[in-house]
Structure 1
């Protein structure tokens, strides 16, 4: 009887939870009952059989100061994760995104069992800041699964084998999304302008970014009484979003509702992150806003090597979508940029087209990420066995 393969998947944020679930599904398609999963994740990975020893919202940390304050808690969760690996004895560990947390897990596992195959899924953005992380990662893991076509040279130069698998955000199937369905469900007129607000999936993002977003909405609604506002809330912050925004926005939950909302939207106001790629794929023109803690921003502004924070802007080497960062991320400035797009259908059309073209540069139309990641993991295991 063939031994069942044990795969440990570790994700600490909503986007990583999505990738982990997709990878689990792809591996199960190949191996059926010949694989079992253990690890750390959220709701989507739980649906694939990953029973997490703790709630990953404990690891949703933004900024240096918040990271310092949470250090003991994070290290305790690192130990919990390592203990799970010791108990379950996985054949391979896949560490998804979340640089600080997953690096510490990798380093601990490497010391405990140098022969255990470790795979990092999603590279740190060394092309934007802190290139020394490439060498650090190369010493900690055996293989990198990259979501950007421009990642590989930085890591291969440090001796880390890298496989480009593509960005799962580029493969979302919007054919099943229905904007009219969302409008009917919420009682929103079909012809009413709809602003989609996406303030992030970490508690720190909600506390820093939702207030200026709320101020922008108040300014917009004062001038446009017919403007409808929808917030698709990530599971990690849904209750906080409802408490802070339930009085002025329709708050919806779940992946299906999020995709419907994206198809229904006239314009979006989005926190920088994976969601901007999803919006671009849905054809939604957007304004991007972001705020960090003052200390984090003061340090990072001397380290960042790109003028852009949005991936499709980086790919296009242009501000295809406007980015209002730090002090510029304030209610009046955000409202002005959104107003321009609400008032000008041609501007919306041009921006949506430019966003779409940038996605091609990012690798849209390439391999299915989950399938490619599954192939890479199984190939690594086959090479180790040989």
Structure 2
């Protein structure tokens, strides 16, 4: 085995950057002189990763014009990266999420004899089951973050390892609400709603306004409510503009990043479907999951949907433990009513909140593993020379 392997990686978006950063921690414990390069973000850069392109380049959303506008640039990046990696071959390529970008690249590299790993199994159990054949062609090994996935992949002849969900090790089993509130300048007695409209520009385009219109209605019902929005720094000014358009310029506290502090501090959250909903569940917080996208994108996605749930907490629990308001159902009035329902429960039906917290605690325990070590161990086996 190479004493100092060269690892090419591609991580898309903020969530992929976080996952890849934790994976780098595990690999560097095995190989302190590890060399890593490719496409990544700030979490990876902190571990010495050499980013040839930033991870936000891969932050696309849905289908149709949203992707088509970026398609030429994305294809150009992938072509250049493929060429560079085939000329200067890494010991292993690790695609972190971003399956639309990574699986095709992995297939080409694997066909050329380069070992390939895909970290985060594409959601073939939720939608796009047709991807399973592409995964089989593309990945020597899949690192899975949900416990049921390796058995599912094994049925299709795909080697996989369950490594736990990295967020389960980052988020405390019992979050410190008071400390988070102090960090954000909030009081213990405040009633706090976290608003998370997403980390992509297209999500802000489609969901931020209904969220803030709902927040304005919540404020009418609860004038003392504290509304806190963690924003990706690049989108902070745009989010502030939408809040101002909805008459909330002086009523919303927008903070750069700090999504974990905001979720720890809140009583309930109005949240865009995605990885953030799992984070909210791990923080044991009541939530209203919502999503809205370009109509054609929604039509195409809905045709491929295999389960009745969209939000990860509901998918993993196998039932609607929290409400989902998707597409046309995501009206400001409905979002407001569902959020107020959780706030009313905190005041008048605390057993309902306790039951949800217990359900999310069980979920947290099922996802908690030493992800960096397990993932690095799996990669070490892949890199071990064959007899």
Matching of residue 251 in structure 1 with residue 249 in structure 2: no
**Structure-2 change in CA distance of 1:18 and 1:10 (3 Å):** same
- Which runs of structure 2 are paired with 1:203-282 in the superposition (5 Å)? 203-235=201-233, 237-245=235-243, 247=249, 248-254=251-257, 257-282=258-283
Alpha-carbon distance between aligned partners in 2 of 1:341 and 1:295, rounded to the nearest angstrom: 32
Q: CA deviation at 1:19?
A: 0.8
SS state of the match for residue 230, structure 2?
Answer: strand
SS state of the match for residue 378, structure 2?
Answer: helix
**Structure-2 change in CA distance of 1:43 and 1:217 (3 Å):** same
Query: Corresponding residue for 1:44?
Result: 43
Match of 1:124 among 108, 122, 125: 122
**Structure-2 change in CA distance of 1:76 and 1:334 (3 Å):** same
Equivalent pair of 2:89/2:114 in contact (CA under 8 Å): no
Equivalent pair of 2:97/2:118 in contact (CA under 8 Å): yes
Equivalent pair of 1:179/1:264 in contact (CA under 8 Å): yes
SS state of the match for residue 344, structure 1?
Answer: helix
Query: Corresponding residue for 1:7?
Result: 7
Alpha-carbon distance between aligned partners in 1 of 2:296 and 2:108, rounded to the nearest angstrom: 29
Equivalent pair of 2:7/2:92 in contact (CA under 8 Å): yes
Equivalent pair of 2:150/2:160 in contact (CA under 8 Å): yes
More displaced 10-residue stretch of structure 1: 233-242 or 54-63: 233-242
Query: Corresponding residue for 1:152?
Result: 150
**Structure-2 change in CA distance of 1:40 and 1:176 (3 Å):** farther
Alpha-carbon distance between aligned partners in 2 of 1:273 and 1:317, rounded to the nearest angstrom: 16
Query: Corresponding residue for 2:91?
Result: 91
Q: CA deviation at 1:370?
A: 1.8
- Which runs of structure 2 are paired with 1:337-356 in the superposition (5 Å)? 337-345=338-346, 347=349, 350-351=352-353, 353-354=355-356, 356=358
Matching of residue 377 in structure 1 with residue 379 in structure 2: yes
Unaligned runs of 5+ in 2: none
1:323-373 deviation per Cα after TM superposition (whole angstroms, max 9, x unaligned): 000001111100001111112215565245335425635763542222211
- Which runs of structure 2 are paired with 1:5-154 in the superposition (5 Å)? 5-33=5-33, 35-65=34-64, 66-86=66-86, 88-111=88-111, 113=112, 115-154=113-152
**Structure-2 change in CA distance of 1:359 and 1:127 (3 Å):** farther
The alignment covers a number of residue pairs equal to 380
**Structure-2 change in CA distance of 1:134 and 1:261 (3 Å):** same
Equivalent pair of 1:40/1:52 in contact (CA under 8 Å): yes
Q: CA deviation at 1:260?
A: 2.0
**Structure-2 change in CA distance of 1:98 and 1:237 (3 Å):** farther
Alpha-carbon distance between aligned partners in 1 of 2:17 and 2:237, rounded to the nearest angstrom: 19
Q: TM-score, normalised by structure 1?
A: 0.91
1:242-268 deviation per Cα after TM superposition (whole angstroms, max 9, x unaligned): 4433724212224xx322222210111
Q: TM-score, normalised by structure 2?
A: 0.91
Q: CA deviation at 1:132?
A: 1.6
Q: CA deviation at 1:376?
A: 0.5
Equivalent pair of 2:219/2:225 in contact (CA under 8 Å): yes
**Structure-2 change in CA distance of 1:141 and 1:72 (3 Å):** same
Q: CA deviation at 1:11?
A: 0.2
**Structure-2 change in CA distance of 1:352 and 1:327 (3 Å):** farther
SS state of the match for residue 53, structure 1?
Answer: strand
SS state of the match for residue 52, structure 2?
Answer: coil
